[in-house]
Amino acid sequence: MTRPFQGLRAWLLQRVTAVYLALFLLYVLGRIWISPPVDFGAWRAWVAQPMVSAMLALSFVMLLGHAWVGVRDVLLDYVPNLRLRVALLTLVAVSLIYLGIWFGSILVRTLGS
């Protein structure tokens, strides 16, 4: 290991993202339970609120980070072949970047309308 505390950073990132995602999920479920949106327009208006859209964007970034750390750790632990591991990590990284761009475009289109 070239850098000290690298495992601690991954562990901490995993915990911080999990806590944020759990709290955001509770917020969304509570909002739906208290005042459910009646149609797509109501959903869009709710998501277009600046605080909600910021929390939603942050939750997706947290989800991508959480997924990266989890999948990376599994691949590092259970795929002994270096070339296969690098190929799989590259595939996962490209897929997560694509998902991030895709979600960002959806959020921008929702806010722009």
Type and span of the H or E element at 49? none
Taking the CA atoms of residue 86, residue 92, residue 96 and residue 97 in that order, the dihedral angle to the nearest 10 degrees is 40
CB of 58 closer than 8 Å to CB of 98: no
Q: Please report the pLDDT score of residue 110 as a whole number.
A: 79
Specify the pTM.
0.85
Taking the CA atoms of residue 57, residue 72, residue 96 and residue 103 in that order, the dihedral angle to the nearest 10 degrees is -20
Go through the domains of the chain in sequence order and give each one's CATH number. 6-112 (1.20.1300.10)
Mean pLDDT (10-residue bins), the chain, 113 residues: 72 95 96 92 89 94 95 94 96 97 89 72
